[in-house]
Every structure is written in structure tokens, then in C-alpha cells.
Amino acid sequence: MQENLLFEAIIAAARKHGWKRNIAQDASGSKLTYRQLVLRAFLLAAPIAAYSRGQTHVAVMLPNTLAVAVTFLSVQALGKIPCMINFASGAQNIIRACEIAGAKTVLTSRAFIEQGKLEAVETAIAQQVKLVYLEDIRDSLKPWHKIAAALKAFFPDLALKSLRGIAPSPHDPAVILYTSGSEGVPKGVALSHHNILYNIDQVVHHITFSGEDRMFNPLPVFHSFGMTVGTILPLVLGIPVYLYPSPLHYKQIPPLVKKTGATIFLGTNTFYQGYANYAELDDFKTVRLAVAGGEKLKDATRELYLEKLGVDILQGYGVTETSPVISFNTPEAHKPGSVGRAFIGIETKVEPIEGLPRGGRLWVKGQNVMLGYMKHDAPGKLQPQDAWYDTGDIVEIDTQGYIYILGRAKRFAKIGGEMVSLAAVEDMAAMLEPEAAHAAVAIPDARKGEQIVLFTEAVTLDKDRLLTQAKADQLSELFLPKRVVQLEAMLRLGNGKVDYQELMSLAMKDSSRP
């Protein structure tokens, strides 16, 4: 792989595929060619430089639109590091994310804040950081700014040199993303230009793309799946991408997939389930690669898409810290229930865990592994990552190299000295109520070490039914939850993942009641 920076890789793609190629579109109906994308990035760069003078990290708080792609590249053009903010995480977590990276400026949009009903968040974070609105930047632009940007777009290499001075190294940080915080306090993840572009090369090695491909990406750019796979990859490979602002628009997205003629679609199990409720028979007829990541793909979801829509969802696996993809089931090589085989260039090792009869903790090593973490206790300081990264996932790898996720290391309860998979408890509940969401957590128990609390959307699910299922699955009674708590709707983070941290707090609070 040729060493490169992200912006330079996109310029190289423009030269290869043609500057006039329509490369990005969003829900407003607007489209950008490569030339327009680069021009707009240069147009924003000077004002952003003025607002962030002396700052290395600049926060970006925008949804999936053309504006986020342009803004991201503008920050890259300056040699600064964009910090992608999860606007659904709440004011305190947004402030904490800025503090972790030492970001003093947040680039956002008034229209977005109004449409997203984020006024209360805006007020809270404005007391801690400077909010810069794209509308204000746009209104401040003069005709000569546009002329200068157009010239830069025709001579992008020279423009980048003049804007940056000393160019970053491909091994310098390119972006700061944040862990979801579903099981603890979020951390900043520093990914280099090399990490991301190497991971894209790994994807290309395993998946064949064509000049006819079109991608539909509803996943947010503040997570690595939506960032690397859903945004940077299509720009670097010349694949036109449709950026949609929210994966939660279950009714609107399926007909848009049909309208855009998308051949590649990205989602998580939760989102795929939501789309299936509204999708017509031919909405996904052009999709040849339906990719699932972020959480376990349920058998019921895959079977539903195969039977109803004729689409075979292929599951992959990755974590933010690996840029993100580690493995993927390809159309040519896949096993249902697995997350595919590790990509070329990734070494794996499985560390046995005492008390666990099968599987072990997965460690990975490769050039897509992050530079390191930034944490709240040391703002702005990069804590380097060792060569081997502990994913925290418990897996089995079969003789053909296919990886099977058994659960998170933190997603096991130790009851009476034995390790009990919380994922297995959730799977048991899903066998009984496949249409509902279920989440199991472990909390301290004075007598047995820990106890399991199962949260469920199914109003008829109880311990008696679970006992019957446990016997059918030949599971011990240790897999039975101590309590079953019904929820009207499962608690989730902005990326669709279950908010286990909040469920843990809820379980602990309930257990303390007399």
C-alpha cells in the first residue's frame, strides 16, 4: 500500500475516476463531484483555520450529510485532527469528548441543531467550548474566497502544502473517534491515516467492487463503521455514496435504497430489523452487499431478509480500535453464525479464560490497530497502544479460520465459581420472543458472587418459560436470571447498541430497594 494522507488519497481517486464524477449525495438531493467536494473543502478551510488558531484538535458535530464530508476534509486540509462528536450522547458526554482531546472548537450547524431538537445540548456545551456554525461561515464568504478556493481545487497539492506548512506523516493521527461507552466511560481512539487506508486496502483484498457500485450509508460518521467503511472508503475507491442523516428512519430508508439503486448497504442488526417492518419486496432488489456489523446479527433477521427480500446479509466484525474491520463474511466465503475470517494482515491469538469451557479472549495485531487512546484523566495526551490489542471479546476460531463471537469478556457473570455467558442468556430469551429486544446484565450478589438481571421488551416472558427453554438447550440453571424486568422499549445508545451501562445502573438501583 502506498503511504498517503486521507485528503491526498481522495485527490488520487479523483484523478483516477475523473474530477467530474458524482461521488456524494445526501437526503437534500444535492450532489457533489470530486471537484466540487475538494473545492468546498478548501473554501471552508480558511475560516476554520481562523476560528481554531493554535488548536490541533477540532470537534465536528454534524449528521450524515454532504456538509460533514466537506467539513471533515476541510479540517484535514489544515493538517488538524477532527474529533467526531456523538451528538446523541448527551451534553456531558460531548463536553467530556472535547476535554479528552483538548478540543476548544466545535463545528456544527444551526439547521441541524434545530432539526435534531438539540437546543438544550447546544446551550450546555456552549458554556464550555466555542460553537462555530457552518451557516455563519457561509455568510461570511466573499466572491474572492470562492475564486481562491476554485484555484486551489485545480492545484490541490500546492494548496495543501500552503495550508499545512509541514505536512503530517501518514502515521500521525487522522481522526479521533470515541468508544461507545456502552459498558464504561468513553475513550478517545486515535486512528492514523495509515490505519484507515490500510484497513480499506484490507477490505478491497477480500471484497470485489465494480464501477457500477453505489453505496447507501445511514450510519453516523462519529462511529468507525460509518466513518471508514461508509464514508472514506467510497470516496477513496470512487464509489458514489448516498449519505443519510439517521439510521432510525425505518420507514423512509427502504424506498430510498430502491430509488438510489444502491448495491451496497450498511447496517446493524437492530436497524435491519427496523427496515424489515416497512420494506417492500423490491426495495432491496439492487443490493448485492448487505453488510452487518456493530452487534451480533440474529439468525431470525438474516432469515427474514432471505425469505422476504431475497437479500443475504453478510456479517462482519470490528472495533473502533482497529479502524474498524477485523473480519468479514464475503459472498464467496461465509459461514452463517460466524463473523467471517480475519483479514489479511491481521494476526490473531485466543487467550484461554479460567472457568470458561470453550473459547477465549481475542487479541489482534496489524497495521490497522489504532495509535492509542486519549483518556479523560490525561486530556490531549496520546497513550500509545502495544502491538497486540485486546478486543475484550470472547471467541472461538474454527479450523478454517472462521471467527465465532461468544460474548464480551465483560459480558460474563461469575456465579458459584462458573462463568456464565450473558449473550447466551439473551439468546435463550430470543428463542422464546424473537421479535423483542433482550439484554442481560450481571450485578453483585452477596451469596453467589453475581446475579443475572434480564431486561426484555416481551411482556409475556418470565422465569418459568426461560427455565423450560434452558432445559431444551441443555443449559444449567445458572443461566436463569434472578430477575426479569419488562421495559416498554430497550435502552439504546445513539448508534443503536444496547446501553448496558444504563441498564446496569437501573438493575443496581432496583436491587437496593427494600
Length of the chain: 514
- Tens-digit pLDDT profile for residues 158-187: 999 999 988 899 999 999 999 866 555 679
Residue 456 domain boundaries: 416-511
Q: What's the average model confidence in pLDDT over 363-388? A: 95
Q: Do 441 and 346 fall into the same domain?
A: no
- Tens-digit pLDDT profile for residues 466-482: 999 988 888 888 889 99
Q: Do 449 and 362 fall into the same domain?
A: no
Average pLDDT, the chain: 93
Domain contains 403 = no
Return the pLDDT at 270.
Answer: 86
Q: Are 19 and 34 in contact (CB under 8 A)?
A: yes
Alpha-carbon distance values, 31 to 22, 36, 67, 217 (Å): 7, 9, 11, 15
- CB-based contacts of 436-445 (< 8 A; 24+ apart in sequence): 436/461, 437/270, 437/490, 437/498, 438/490, 439/490, 439/491, 439/498, 439/500, 439/503, 440/481, 441/500, 441/503, 441/504, 441/507, 442/412, 442/413, 442/414, 443/504, 443/507, 443/508, 443/511, 445/415, 445/482
The residue among 376, 275, 261, 368 whose CA lies nearest residue 22 is 261
Dihedrals phi, psi of 353, to nearest 5 degrees: -120, 130
Q: DSSP letter for 445, please.
A: E
- The number of beta carbons lying within 10 Å of the beta carbon of residue 307 is 9
Return the pLDDT at 410.
Answer: 78
Q: Do 389 and 420 fall into the same domain?
A: no
Q: Which residue has the cell 456531558?
A: 92
Q: Do 333 and 431 fall into the same domain?
A: no
- Looking at the DSSP bridge assignments, the partners of residue 173 are 192
**How far is 495 from 492, CA to CA, in rounded Å?**
8
Q: What is the CATH number of the domain that holds 118?
A: 3.40.50.12780
Domain contains 410 = no
Q: Do 387 and 444 fall into the same domain?
A: no
Q: Are 13 and 34 in contact (CB under 8 A)?
A: yes
Q: Do 368 and 439 fall into the same domain?
A: no
Q: What percent of the chain has pLDDT over 90?
A: 82
Does residue 33 have a pLDDT over 90? yes
Q: Do 428 and 371 fall into the same domain?
A: no
Q: What's the average model confidence in pLDDT over 439-462? A: 91
Return the pLDDT at 354.
Answer: 82
- Tens-digit pLDDT profile for residues 262-308: 999 999 998 999 999 999 999 999 999 999 998 889 899 999 999 99
Domain contains 402 = no
Q: Do 25 and 171 fall into the same domain?
A: yes
Does residue 513 have a pLDDT over 60? no
Does residue 111 have a pLDDT over 70? yes
Domain contains 292 = yes
Q: What is the CATH number of the domain that holds 437?
A: 3.30.300.30
- Tens-digit pLDDT profile for residues 402-414: 999 988 877 888 7
Which three-class secondary structure state does DSSP give residue 51? helix
Q: What percent of the chain has pLDDT over 70?
A: 97
Dihedrals phi, psi of 160, to nearest 5 degrees: -65, -40
Give the predicted TM-score (pTM) of the model. Answer: 0.87
- Looking at the DSSP bridge assignments, the partners of residue 286 are none
Q: Do 429 and 370 fall into the same domain?
A: no
Domain contains 407 = no
Domain count, the chain: 2
Q: Which residue has the cell 483538548?
A: 102
Domain contains 399 = no
Domain contains 275 = yes
- Tens-digit pLDDT profile for residues 116-133: 999 999 999 999 999 999
CA 287 centroid distance within chain? 21
Q: What's the average model confidence in pLDDT over 33-45? A: 98
Return the pLDDT at 417.
Answer: 65
Domain boundary among 340, 364, 394: 394
Domain boundary among 361, 394, 427: 394
**How far is 339 from 291, CA to CA, in rounded Å?**
11
Return the pLDDT at 373.
Answer: 97
**How far is 167 from 253, CA to CA, in rounded Å?**
40
In sequence order, what are the residues at sequence separation of 6 or more whose Cβ sits closer than 8 angstroms to the Cβ of residue 458? 429, 432, 433, 435, 436, 438, 486
Instruction: Report cis status (omega within 30 of 0) of the bond before 324.
Output: yes
Domain contains 408 = no
Which three-class secondary structure state does DSSP give residue 60? strand
The residue among 416, 430, 5 whose CA lies nearest residue 175 is 5
Q: Do 290 and 356 fall into the same domain?
A: yes
Q: Do 425 and 331 fall into the same domain?
A: no
Return the pLDDT at 182.
Answer: 54
Domain boundary among 394, 429, 448: 394
Q: Are 495 and 223 in contact (CB under 8 A)?
A: yes
Return the pLDDT at 388.
Answer: 98
Q: Which residue has the cell 472462521?
A: 402
Residue 419: pLDDT band (50, 70, 90) is confident
All 3 cell numbers of residue 497?
Answer: 447498541
Q: Strand order of the sheet with strand 403-408?
A: 347-352, 360-365, 388-397, 403-408
- Tens-digit pLDDT profile for residues 192-245: 999 999 999 999 999 999 999 999 999 999 999 999 999 999 999 999 999 999
Dihedrals phi, psi of 345, to nearest 5 degrees: 90, 0
Q: What's the average model confidence in pLDDT over 448-463? A: 92
Q: Are 324 and 225 in contact (CB under 8 A)?
A: yes
Q: Do 258 and 377 fall into the same domain?
A: yes
Q: What's the average model confidence in pLDDT over 342-348? A: 98
Which contiguous run of DSSP H or E holds residue 46? helix 34-51
Q: What's the average model confidence in pLDDT over 344-371? A: 94
